[in-house]
Chain A
Amino acid sequence: MKLSMPVFAAFVIGLCATLLLVLHAIDNDYLYFGGYLLFQYVALAVAWNILGGYAGYINFGSAAFMATGSYTTVVLVKLFALPLPFLILAGGATAGLLGLFTAAMTLRFKGIFFAIATLALAVVLQTIVVNWDFVGGSRGVYLVRPPAPAFLDSFAQYLFALILGVTALAVILARFIERSTFGMGLAAIRENELAAETCGVPTLRLKIAATVVSGALMGMAGAPLPYYLTYMEPNSAFALTHTVNSVAMPLIGGTSSWTGPVIGALLLGLAQQTATVTISSGLNLLVVGGLLMLFVLAAPEGLIGLLHLAKRRGAT
């Protein structure tokens, strides 16, 4: 469907508003909490895909970007009592700066070397946080939730509305990038970086921009987490689940378009939530691992790739 950007943005915002109204009508706080996690991963997966899918640079440091957003919230809450939307913007800005730093340090590496460098970044950052008393160090820190805005029913609803906003922003931005000259340059980098450079694509500049945008969105997705958990400690902030999910969800959905990570995150997120509630929370990563293996073996281009294949077969 070829919707113009303003129409698409209006459609996404309308969809989010409808979802809020539906959940408001159902009036069950668990749906807000479950939905928060689900959309947090949609935002994370879409953000990861801007660098990992569009440009083909696999980032294993998603947890570090998300944790940067979370710990920006912790620091700012301890220093000033800023409202949550500002904390989200601040988390995005800090994680964007981390993206700039990461890009400057690592983007001359390619392939597996870049992936390992981003993994190392997460380890370094976690070590810093563990040893930083101001944010609670390894023992963590408690956060007391402020009252929800008067026009909302509960803080859970507020958190859900905010993460939905971050997700909408990530999706609109990802689709805009995908269809822009910037996106075309990133696709050229993914296909053949040497050829891209000799076609005039400023590969380093584009990769830096993609890392900053991707990192900033991951930071924004992580910023409300301390209020969601009401307790922040390094193992939750830098959880392996964040990294694994941010990579697995786009791979399962398909990495070449913004739709892939959205579908992958919804599918995998729902499967994880269902497994958590009905079987055991420890089964989360098993579900991710199993589905990931299945897709890597049977559908390496993800669900979107499968759909395109079916469409081509239908046409011939």
Chain B
Amino acid sequence: MTAPLLQVRGLGKRFGGFTALDALDLDIAAGARIGVIGPNGAGKSTFVNLLAGTLPPDCGSILFGDTRVEKLPPHRRVRLGLARSFQLPQLFASMSVIENILVPLAYAAPSREASPFVRSRAEAQAMNLLEQIGLARLRHQPVGALTQVEMRKLELARAMAARPKLLLCDESMAGLSDSEVDDVLDLLFAINAEGVAVMMIEHIIKAVSRFSERVIVLVAGRKILEDAPANAFRHPEVERAYLGE
């Protein structure tokens, strides 16, 4: 049996007296599609921030591939292949669409180690990514001119520029219309088809159900369930967590 790509053991985070994440264990295999759901305050975003390195954990370990990463800064984790997108798109506002992709190509992509950064070559790679997400025609536009769904796609493309092994999508579909959700889902499927494991944190149950092979349910910082979507959404504890007693 091959070792999981990500192994999380006893991961915990407290903010003062509030336990945001309580001794969480999780394994993610290479190329897997995982959904993480839970009501507001369940600890979903905290979990993503701990994995990505934007928050330090209080306890526990994170093994990514064969590297312990819980003490590494975010940029080192990205270079190992652990990329993320944000709940609210965090783009480089005064840069153009293509420049947003060039940053991870210069700093995070494995190719930067093999050869020096050459702008023309990186621009060709960036164009490939932009063509995949349908934003090639907007390459020289400032990101401020993009629509909400275009920003979400650009952020995913930027994460992909780092050639990740695991992509953490923190509510990448929040605030989008049904057709836009489908667009982003298609993109996530395409990313996954390239062998990238995707962990989707989402409130849109329809999207989680369609995308995920396995769903993890967090409630009050604890993992209460990990199962196939069909079973997970019917589980009494999940119904109780979402609908109350």
Q: Which B residues are in CB contact (< 8 Å) with A280?
A: none
Give 1 or 0 for each of B57-76: 1 = CB within 8 Å of chain A CB: 00000000000000001110
Give Cα A202 to B112, complex, Å: 14
Chain B interface bracket (under 10, 10 to 19, 20 to 34, 35 or more)? 20 to 34
Give 1 or 0 for each of B72-113: 1 = CB within 8 Å of chain A CB: 011100110001101000111111000100111011110000
The residue on A at minimum CB distance from B95 is: A191
Q: Which A residues are in CB contact (< 8 Å) with B109?
A: 200
Chain A interface mostly helix, strand, loop or mixed? helix
Given A181-B117, A194-B54, A195-B86, A200:B108 Cβ within 8 A: yes
B81 CB to nearest A CB, Å: 11
Q: Which A residues are in CB contact (< 8 Å) with B102?
A: 184
B106 with A198: CB separation less than 8 A: no
B95 with A187: CB separation less than 8 A: yes
Give Cα A194 to B88, complex, Å: 12
Q: Which B residues are in CB contact (< 8 Å) with A202?
A: 73, 75, 107
B3 CB to nearest A CB, Å: 25
A202 CB to nearest B CB, Å: 5
Give Cα A198 to B187, complex, Å: 20
Contact partner of A200 (CB less than 8 A), chosen from B54, B94, B99, B162, is: B162
B32: interface (CB < 8 Å): no
A192: interface (CB < 8 Å): yes
B91 with A192: CB separation less than 8 A: yes
Give Cα A265 to B99, complex, Å: 29
B117 with A199: CB separation less than 8 A: no
A191 with B93: CB separation less than 8 A: yes
Contact partner of A199 (CB less than 8 A), chosen from B78, B93, B94, is: B78
A201 with B52: CB separation less than 8 A: no
B48 CB to nearest A CB, Å: 11
A198 with B78: CB separation less than 8 A: yes
B234 CB to nearest A CB, Å: 36
Which of A181, A192, A202, A256 has the most C-beta atoms of chain B within 10 angstroms of its own C-beta? A181
Given A181-B117, A184-B102, A194-B54, A199:B91 Cβ within 8 A: no
B94 with A191: CB separation less than 8 A: yes
A197: interface (CB < 8 Å): yes
The residue on B at minimum CB distance from A188 is: B103
A188 with B92: CB separation less than 8 A: yes
B158: interface (CB < 8 Å): yes
Give Cα A256 to B102, complex, Å: 18
Given A181-B117, A184-B102, A194-B54, A201:B107 Cβ within 8 A: yes
The residues of A with any CB-CB pair to B shorter than 8 Å are 181, 184-185, 187-188, 191-192, 194-204, 256
CB<8 Å pairs between A and B, sample of 6: A195-B91, A197-B74, A199-B78, A199-B161, A201-B75, A201-B107
Closest 10 CB pairs of A and B: A200-B108, A200-B107, A191-B92, A195-B90, A199-B104, A197-B74, A200-B78, A199-B103, A181-B106, A188-B103
The residues of B with any CB-CB pair to A shorter than 8 Å are 52-54, 73-75, 78-79, 83-84, 86, 90-95, 99, 102-104, 106-109, 117, 158, 161-162
